[in-house]
Amino acid sequence: MTDASPLNYLTWKEFKIGDIFQTKTTGKNIQVPTGAMMKRQDLIEGDIPRVTVSKFDNGITGYYAFSPDKNYRVYENFISVSFLGTIFYHAGKASLDMKVHCLKPCDIELNNFIASFLVSVIRKAIANFAYSDQLSSTVLPNIIIKLPAAPDGKPDFKFMELYMLNIFSKSKAGLESLQLADTAKIPVDIRSWKEFKIGELFNVVKGTRLTKADQKSGDINFVSASAFNNGITATISNDSHIHPGNNLTVNYDGSIGYTFYQEQPFWALDDVNVLYPKFEMTKNIALFIAPIIKSVGSKHAYENKWTLEVMKADKISLPVTADGKPDFKFMERYMQEILDDAEAKINALLDY
């Protein structure tokens, strides 16, 4: 941010989280509202999101019906903060799991703009908390954050709203420009490309079953048949069936055909196939091939599964050299140009 930013001309003031968000007194302690544990078998599928300590998908790990159980705690229009420091804004209703806390301002109703400003500030304030510190419901009220202050010394929520509205508007304009630029790209001439069986290019290995109950929390990526977040739905410490990085994962069930490049070691669930390259694969080459595999897999979306043997036999089209072999150098250069162009556009967007 440049020196011309309006943030540099504000009066900033320190506030305790407990000064501006709702709290309650329990014995000698002041605490923010918090969630509670519910057994999975006691939850019935519905439309209320359930927020856990996950760092993915706004912390939401499922949708359930309202329960009269005292431990089923529902809040609305609030910011969730877990004991691990994951923090998200929830405009609607959501139930909170154990060790996920609710931050709801005392004097205002949150909207997307004010909440986005507050989430950024709070995230920065809690960034240095280690796992052992555990952001409990009694620790959070005493954490100090800096906010723009109005003349009366209270947080200037109106400024926060207008500032973020301006940021969002410029970001939207920048994204629309990126979309227009995308449509102007000249298509690649594939008339000289050649078909190769996936099994000719890759050793295809089936993933391994691991139930949610058997998962142990850790830092190893757990890849399942999801269409989002590179297929990563959890991080675990189970290490008996770990695949090395620099491989592709392909969903043969669930979100069939979705293909992702896995840069780090990972566990693949049994509805995911792992593609080990028979050639020297770089990240750029993997990113070139992944959407081509996905497009072939899309034809299996209305079937039961894209089974391992069928996947190995299916063909993908690739650019070739004069001797008819895959032109990996072309793929490398092409993707680097794409990535450089995207980075330039993102930097231009950030300059807003």
Helix runs in 31-156, H state only: 112-125
Find out whether 146 and 13 touch, Cβ atoms under 8 Å.
Answer: yes
Residues 81-105, mean pLDDT to the nearest whole number:
93
- The 3-state DSSP class for residue 136 equals coil
pLDDT in tens, 244-269: 999 999 998 878 889 999 999 999 99
Quick one: CATH architecture of 194-350?
Answer: Alpha-Beta Complex (3.90)
Q: Assess whether pLDDT exceeds 70 at residue 309.
A: yes
Q: Residue 246 CB: number of other CB atoms within 10 A?
A: 17
pLDDT in tens, 168-178: 666 555 555 55
Assign domain 6-159 one CATH number from 2.170.270.10, 3.90.220.20, 3.30.460.80, 3.40.50.720. Answer: 3.90.220.20
User: What phi and psi values does residue 146 have, to the nearest 5 degrees?
Assistant: -100, 130
What pLDDT score was predicted for residue 228? 82
Dig out the tokens for 36 from the structure: 């509670």
Dig out the tokens for 202 from the structure: 């890759």
Location of structure tokens 């100090």: 144
Q: Tell me the pLDDT of the chain averaged across its residues.
A: 86
Q: CATH 3.90.220.20 in the chain, residues?
A: 6-159, 194-350
Residue 227: DSSP 8-state:
S
Q: How confident is the model at residue 346 (pLDDT cuts 50, 70, 90)?
A: low
Residues 312-324, mean pLDDT to the nearest whole number:
94
pLDDT above 70 covers a percentage of the chain that reads: 86
pTM of the model: 0.52
Q: Assess whether pLDDT exceeds 60 at residue 186.
A: no
Beta pairing class for 217-223 and 266-268: parallel
Q: Quote the CA–CA distance of 296 and 306 in Å, as a whole number.
A: 10
Least confident range of 40-54, 85-99, 111-125, 337-351: 337-351
Looking at per-residue pLDDT, the higher value among 40 and 312 belongs to 312
CA 60 to centroid of chain Cα atoms = 11
What pLDDT score was predicted for residue 1? 38
